Structure 1
Amino acid sequence: MSRSQLTILTNICLIEDLETQRVVMQYRAPENNRWSGYAFPGGHVENGESFVESVIREIYEETGLTIQNPQLVGIKNWPLDTGGRYIVICYKATEFTGTLQSSEEGEVSWVQKDQLPNLDLAYDMLPLMEMMEAPDKSEFFYPRRTEDDWEKKIF
């Protein structure tokens, strides 16, 4: 039995302005994305790049913000239909510089944190954010597809 598997590595970052209680949200249009709606920005880890370098680069490319000291707050992952695993490394950043600007990846905006439930959110964004902010939780896992959804486990 092989212990290696195809793995897709990505990241997301909850960028929060602690003074205003706002977070950066990116809107991904349904026609361009399988994970559409409002979500935290992020992207793929490039070959040879550290996870921290990748989230700093992705956030800059997608938002115009340069984050400092991103904190690892969890992992989201699920099995791929073709075998292997998709892993999202989840970060939180409260230190940043720059001016928010959208990219071809989607429109970005500051949103009051307490207004997130009112947005057209991407799949499972609220429970994912809860995991990312819970000091005793670190993994959001989809072990298998059900007939109409995914089974979910949070550890």
Structure 2
Amino acid sequence: MDYIKWIRTKVGHDQIILNFAGGCLLNKNREVLLQKRSDRASWGFPGGAVELGESVCETVEREFYEETGLKVITKELIGVYSKYEDCYPNGDKAQPILFFFHVEYRDGELFKETNNETLELAFFPLDQVPKLVNEQHDACYRDLMCYEGKPFIR
């Protein structure tokens, strides 16, 4: 079931609270994997909406595979980001609540071609991250830069 499509049939474009989970994968060179998202042609951390019956850990692992081709395992919570608003290109409005995790590579290869969610995938040095998709992803990046095993709540 696509929860967002289902709930949007009930509320249209009105602002709602949506739960998301995303992740940060660092390679052996301490570069971070980012996804150029097809919905906005902007860079961000891989992740997506929590589906009914799914945990946030299951969400980030599923979304990582769907968007990057990589199987990951959720390791640690970096932070929860809840005081943001977003308006999507189709006019949908939401207050997204994002659970942001450090993830570890398990298996798979990065997609080489685009798909309906991903225009490009690339690893970036932590001090050379491009402009990110929104303020929420910016907060994730800032917290990633000072992460010492203590979750952040925003």
TM-score (normalizing by structure 1): 0.69
- Aligned residue in 2 for 1:131: 143
- Looking at structure 1, the residues matched to 132 and 94 of structure 2 have their Cα atoms a distance apart, in angstroms, of 27
1:67 correspondence with 2:76: no
Q: Given the alignment, which residue of 88, 104, 107 partners 1:97?
A: 107
Q: 1:78 to 1:16 in 2, by over 3 A?
A: same
1:20 correspondence with 2:29: yes
Q: Give 1:137 shift.
A: 5.2
- Looking at structure 1, the residues matched to 57 and 81 of structure 2 have their Cα atoms a distance apart, in angstroms, of 16
Consecutive unaligned residues in structure 1, runs of 5 or more: 1-5, 141-155
- Hey, which of these two has a bigger chunk of helix by percent? 2
8 Å CA contact retained: 1:100, 1:109: no
- Looking at structure 2, the residues matched to 37 and 80 of structure 1 have their Cα atoms a distance apart, in angstroms, of 17
- Looking at structure 2, the residues matched to 128 and 43 of structure 1 have their Cα atoms a distance apart, in angstroms, of 14
Q: 1:24 to 1:49 in 2, by over 3 A?
A: same
Provide the secondary structure at the position in 1 that maps to 2:82: strand
Provide the secondary structure at the position in 2 that maps to 1:61: helix
Q: Give 1:131 shift.
A: 1.7
8 Å CA contact retained: 1:27, 1:108: yes
Consecutive unaligned residues in structure 2, runs of 5 or more: 1-15, 87-91
- Looking at structure 2, the residues matched to 84 and 42 of structure 1 have their Cα atoms a distance apart, in angstroms, of 16
TM-score (normalizing by structure 2): 0.70
Provide the secondary structure at the position in 2 that maps to 1:89: strand
Moved over 6 A (4+): 81-84
- Aligned residue in 2 for 1:122: 133
Identity across aligned pairs (percent)? 26
Q: CA RMSD in A?
A: 2.6
Q: Give 1:83 shift.
A: 9.9
Aligned length: 128
